[in-house]
Structures are given as C-alpha cells and as structure tokens.
C-alpha cells in the first residue's frame, strides 16, 4: 500500500477540491507515498453539463496541487451498481491505498449508500488512514461546481476565478474555419468543444491561450458570429502576437474578463474595428492583472 488517494469527481477543480487535493499531497509527502486522485470519465450524477473535460481535470489536478497520479475510471453500469464496500475494497486491492481523503459530502456505491462517515469507519477498522475535508465557504457561499456553473453561464469569469483559484479553462484541438478572421487581419484559432462542456455566456472575453508550453494574451468570441450569418456555436480566439499555424494542435483557453456581448454589426469593417478595440482593451487588462 503505497498511495494516498483523493476521492471525488473534481469537476472544475475549484478551491474546495483544492483543499482536499492539497491535504492529499501533504500526507503523501509526510509518509513517503505517492499522491493520487481518483475520478471518473463522466459525471456519476444526473448533471451531465461539465465545467472541465477529463484532460483539463487531469492537467489542473496535477499542475496546481502536486498530485503525482490521476486515475480515471470508466463510469459503467457495473460500477454504478457496485456496493460501496466493494468499491472501497478495490481502492486498497487495485490501487494500493494506505490513506484516503474525501470531501464531507462524498457519496459512492450503489444509490450513493456509501458516504464520508461510513468510509472513515471502514478505514479505521482496517488500520487505514482517512481524512474528511469540511466544506469551504467564501463570502458565505459554499464553493462548489454547481455555484461555479452559475457564474460561468452568466459570463462572470472574473468572479469565477476567485472560487476556482484559477481561470475557467477550455481546451481542444484547433480546427480549420472559414479563414474570415485572417482576411480581416485577426486570424483566429477555432475550437469545437465537447457537447457536454459548459461554455461561458455568449460574448467576447479577455483570454490567455496556451499551446506547446507557450502563452499569449488575446480575445475570444463565444457565440454564433451573427455578423457573417453564422448559426452554430463556436469558440474563436485571436492571440495577440502569435505567428504560425495552430491547426491540429492542442490549445488551452483561459477566460479572464467578459468584455462585451456578441453583436450583429452592420459591416465587416465595423466588426473589425470592434475586435481591434477589444484586443486593445484585453492588452490593458492583462497589464493591470500582471501588475497585481
């Protein structure tokens, strides 16, 4: 048994999750064990609208909290109907858990019959460690994925940063578009997010784009591009100062500030003027953000 394992779905990897993951890493370092987290490939609950993809969850868990390993279990019908005691046994037998860490509201097993209290007692009977992390509140609000979804849906990405502890994140492979932005002087990188991933409210945002270990500031439009007769929801990012080709490469977009709603402009020239104004506004925002 050589792992301290954090248990949860960790959608969004917010500060509440961070308290749990930080404790896991702390216990692992103190005992000379590996810090691990166990999550699922899809939501174990009824809400299939997610803040983060599996890949983003893994990246945030490891990058922000020093967790060595992230195990992603397929949430199959068999797992859904597994008894909570069998699931707990698998943590020891299959994953080498010596110590478990979960949140106060953690539920698992068939019909959610397992909970933090039962897990703690089960571990004590077997000489295993178990920490239960209490809820985290900020400004009287419980930090939760549910609350963060309300902020993201409203486009309040600045408030979301406070509760996440990091910007709202969206990653994907850059796809070819209509090349209209390139023609107008602001070439965009187009993402087609997975359908279950929650997008911020339609509009233009100050963002940071990250690809191949490099980052650029820029602006991102989330919407349907009504000025050019678009109908399908898209995510288009213009990265200031980037030169090259991102097609087929992985791009992570971090959302910082909502700049304006999406509009239908009377002409492409009017759209171009507004996009360049937004770019200048984003540049000024990041100057101030970095100075703080």
pLDDT tens, residue by residue, 4-31? 999 999 999 999 999 999 999 999 999 9
What is the percentage of the chain residues whose pLDDT exceeds 70?
Answer: 94
Q: Which CATH number fits domain 3-142: 3.90.1260.10, 3.30.930.10, 3.40.50.620, 1.25.40.10?
A: 3.40.50.620
Query: In sequence order, what DSSP letters do the residues of 196-235 get, joined into one string?
Result: TBPPPPSEEEEEEEEETTEEEEEEEEEE--GGGT--S-EE
Reduce the DSSP state of residue 239 to 3 states and report it. Answer: strand
Instruction: Please report which confidence band the pLDDT of residue 180 belongs to, taking 50, 70 and 90 as the band edges.
Output: low
Max CA-CA distance within the chain?
A: 71
Task: Report the pLDDT value the prediction gives residue 155, as an integer from 0 to 100.
Answer: 97
Q: Which two tokens stand for residue 27?
A: 């216990």
Is the domain 167-291 a CATH 3.20.20.70 member?
no
Residue 247: per-residue pLDDT = 83
What per-residue confidence (pLDDT) applies to 188? 83
Helix (H, G, I), strand (E, B) or coil at 166: coil
Q: In a 3-state reduction of DSSP, which class is residue 238?
A: strand
Task: Extract the runs of DSSP E, i.e. beta strands, from 50-128.
Answer: 69-73, 97-103, 107-108, 114-115
**Confidence label for 151 from pLDDT (cuts 50, 70 and 90):** very high
CB 238 within 8 A of CB 278: no
How many other C-beta atoms can be found within 10 angstroms of the C-beta atom of residue 204?
Answer: 26
Does the pLDDT at position 243 exceed 90?
no
Residues contacting residue 241 through CB under 8 Å, at least 6 positions apart: 216
The pTM is what? 0.91
Weakest mean pLDDT among 92-96, 180-184, 207-211, 256-260: 180-184
> For residue 118, what are the CA distances in angstroms to 85, 115, 196, 199, 239?
9, 5, 32, 36, 50
| Numbered ranges of CATH 3.40.50.620 in the chain | 3-142
Contact between 87 and 109 (Cβ < 8 Å): yes
Q: Which residues are CB-neighbours of 98 under 8 A, at least 6 positions away?
A: 1, 2, 3, 4, 31, 33, 128, 129
What distance in Å separates the CA atoms of residue 255 and residue 204, rounded to the nearest whole number? 10
- Residues of the chain within CATH 2.40.30.30 domain(s) are 167-291
176 exposure class (CB count in 10 Å sphere: 0-12, 13-18, 19+): exposed
Average pLDDT over residues 147-176: 95
């Amino acid at each position: 048994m050589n792992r301290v394992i954090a248990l949860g779905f960790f959608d969004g990897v917010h500060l509440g999750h961070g308290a749990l993951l930080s404790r896991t890493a702390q216990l692992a370092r103190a005992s000379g064990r590996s810090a691990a987290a166990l999550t699922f490939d899809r939501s174990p609950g009824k809400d299939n609208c997610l803040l983060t993809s599996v890949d983003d969850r893994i990246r945030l868990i490891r990058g922000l909290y020093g967790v060595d390993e992230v195990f992603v279990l397929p949430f199959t019908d068999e797992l859904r109907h597994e008894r909570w005691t069998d699931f707990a046994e698998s943590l020891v037998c299959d994953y080498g858990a010596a110590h478990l860490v979960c949140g106060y509201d953690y539920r698992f097993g068939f019909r959610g019959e397992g909970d933090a209290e039962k897990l703690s007692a089960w571990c004590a009977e077997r000489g295993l460690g178990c920490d239960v992390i209490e809820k985290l509140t900020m400004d009287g609000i419980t930090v939760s994925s549910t609350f963060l979804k309300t902020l993201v849906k409203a486009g309040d990405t600045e408030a979301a940063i406070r509760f996440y502890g990091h910007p709202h994140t969206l990653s994907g492979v850059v796809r070819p578009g209509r090349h209209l932005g390139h023609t107008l002087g602001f070439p965009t990188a187009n993402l087609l997010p997975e359908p279950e991933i929650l997008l911020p409210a339609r509009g233009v945002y100050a963002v940071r784009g990250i690809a191949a270990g490099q980052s650029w500031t820029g602006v991102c439009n989330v919407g349907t591009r009504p000025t050019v007769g678009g109908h399908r929801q898209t995510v288009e990012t213009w990265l200031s100062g980037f030169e090259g080709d991102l097609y087929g490469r992985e791009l992570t977009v971090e959302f910082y500030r909502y700049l304006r709603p999406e509009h239908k402009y009377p002409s492409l020239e009017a759209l171009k003027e507004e996009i360049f104004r937004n770019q200048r506004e984003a540049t000024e925002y990041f100057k101030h953000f970095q100075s703080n």
